[in-house]
Amino acid sequence: MVRKIRYREALREALREEMQRDPRVFVIGEDVGRYGGAYAVTQGLLQEFGPKRIIDAPMSEAIIVGAALGAAVVGGRPVAEIMYIDFATLAMDQIVNQAAKLHCMFGGQLKAPLVIRTQQGTGRGAGPQHSQSLEAWFAHVPGLKVVMPATPYDAKGLLKSAIRDDNPVMFIEHKGLYALEGEVPEEEYTIPLGVADIKRPGNNVTLIAYSNMVHTALAAAQELSQIGISAEVIDLRTLAPLDMDTVITSVTKTRRAVVVHEASVFGGFGAEIAASLQERLFDILAAPVRRLGGLHVPLPAHSQLEKQVVPSVAQIVQVVKEMVSTEVAIRAASA
């Protein structure tokens, strides 16, 4: 039997293995050393690798990313931790104008092999400045890769690939997933960036999700199966590069698609998927592609209200039922 470990432990293993494999890899961030990381991902690594490779930086997001970037340009393989994605806003110049642009802008002469590990999302009632889901901002910037693992297995394999990648990677974890257990083999493996994963096969509808919403989608698929609807669940795993082929193949088969994410629907990444699907599969879609996401509202620091802002299993089930019955209705009308 494959051993089970938590999401945070899988991430820690990836960091440890990559640091052992490549002496150029180092970690820099706030409270990553002595504290072990705000979400305990880097716990114990300071003791293991020392303060030159696990660097406790001052509270200065702009220069944490800037310093990581500069080190990357001249030969380092830094993993910068930004405690909450909300604080990445303080480093936006370094991420968007600098890291993302260097390679192309300078005629391919410079590289920025940099990983920015951060976490986002709801689940702790952490409020409007600590719970946002900002992945669409980063996916919108050419030159940045965006990774959003949903399981311990994916978290480990994707982080290892992100560290080995020669480009800046936004590695966005979810604060609600750190304690999640899952199977992770002892042997070494990596997962390529840009390959989606079918987390559950099905025939009647495709649920497209990433990060924690994969689990919500899986629970919805389970419920739908009890009323005879077979849902396929696709975990995008990386938004950039985006594996649209896997999505197209699935929706070609199921003819119905729902995109689910925690971020606000308005201007969210689901719009990209929905638009691509209708451009390429308009003729075969049995129903309009649906998007489910958070309400367009600053997140309340109130756990009960927070839950009402983000998509639920019940909402997904409801939307799928509507899609199926719409189709039935259309068929009936044209008969």
Partner 1 sequence: MEDRETLTNLYHTMLLIRRTEEKILELLLQGKLASSMCHVSIGQEAVATGVCSAMQPHDYLTSTHRGHGHIIARGGDLRRIIAELLGRETGYCKGRGGSMHLVDVSLGHLGSNGIVGGHIGIATGAALWSSLQNDGRVTVAFFGEGAMTEGIFHEAANMAALWRLPIVFVCENNQYAMSLPWTHATAEHSFARKGEAYGMPGIEVDGQDVLAVRQVALQAIERARCGEGPTLIGAQTYRFLGHSRGDPSPYRDKEEETRQRARDPIRIYQEYLFREGVLTQTDVETIEAKVAEVIADAVRFAEESPSATLDSVLEDVFA
User: 174 an active-site residue?
Assistant: no
> Which of partner 1, ligand TPP, none lies near 44, with the C-beta cut-off 5 to 8 A by kind?
none
- Contact status: 59 vs ligand TPP (CB under 6 A): yes
Alpha helix segments (H runs only) across the chain: 7-21, 45-49, 61-73, 92, 102-105, 135-139, 152-164, 213-225, 244-254, 269-281, 303-309, 313-334
Q: Which of 44, 298, 314, 328 binds partner 1 (CB under 8 A)?
A: 298
Catalytic residue among 13, 18, 30, 61: 61
How far apart CA 140 and CA 155 sit, in angstroms, is 22
Binding mask 121-140 for partner 1 (x = CB under 8 A): ---xxxxxxx----------
Least gap, CB of 60 to partner 1 (angstroms): 5
Number of residues interacting with partner 1: please give it, by CB under 8 A. Answer: 35
Least gap, CB of 61 to ligand TPP (angstroms): 6
Reference 213, options 133, 126, 276; nearest CA is 133
**Which among 55-63, 100-108, 111-119, 218-226 is the span making contact with partner 1, rule CB under 8 A?**
55-63
For 311, other C-beta atoms within 10 Å of its C-beta total 23
Q: Which is nearer to ligand TPP, 59 or 104 (CB)?
A: 59
Q: Are 259 and 291 in contact (CB under 8 A)?
A: yes
Q: Which is nearer to partner 1, 185 or 298 (CB)?
A: 298
The tokens of 290 are what?
């649906």
Binding mask 27-46 for partner 1 (x = CB under 8 A): ---xx-xxx--x--------
How far apart CA 23 and CA 94 sit, in angstroms, is 24
Q: Are 25 and 18 in contact (CB under 8 A)?
A: yes
**Which among 16-24, 82-90, 167-175, 281-289 is the span making contact with ligand TPP, rule CB under 6 A?**
82-90
Q: Are 94 and 65 in contact (CB under 8 A)?
A: yes
> Which of partner 1, ligand TPP, none lies near 62, with the C-beta cut-off 5 to 8 A by kind?
partner 1
Q: Please give the backbone phi and psi of residue 281, each rounded to the nearest 5 degrees, phi first.
A: -125, 20
Q: Hey, which bits of 166-253 come out as E strands?
A: 169-174, 181-183, 197-200, 205-209, 231-235, 238-240
Chain residues 20-49 in contact with ligand TPP, contact rule CB under 6 A: 30
**Strand duo 231-235 + 197-200: pairing:** antiparallel
**Which among 134-142, 242-250, 269-277, 305-313 is the span making contact with partner 1, rule CB under 8 A?**
305-313
> Which of partner 1, ligand TPP, none lies near 241, with the C-beta cut-off 5 to 8 A by kind?
none
User: 61 an active-site residue?
Assistant: yes
Least gap, CB of 90 to partner 1 (angstroms): 7
- Contact status: 59 vs partner 1 (CB under 8 A): yes
Q: Are 66 and 82 in contact (CB under 8 A)?
A: no
Residues 6+ apart with CB under 8 A from 174: 119, 120, 121, 123, 148, 150, 211, 212
Catalytic residue among 103, 130, 174, 215: 130
How far apart CA 288 and CA 227 sit, in angstroms, is 21
Q: Which residues are catalytic?
A: 61, 130
Enumerate binding residues for ligand TPP (CB under 6 A): 30, 59, 61, 83, 87, 90
Interface positions with partner 1 (CB under 8 A):
30-31, 33-35, 38, 56, 58-63, 86-87, 90, 124-130, 295-298, 300-305, 308-309
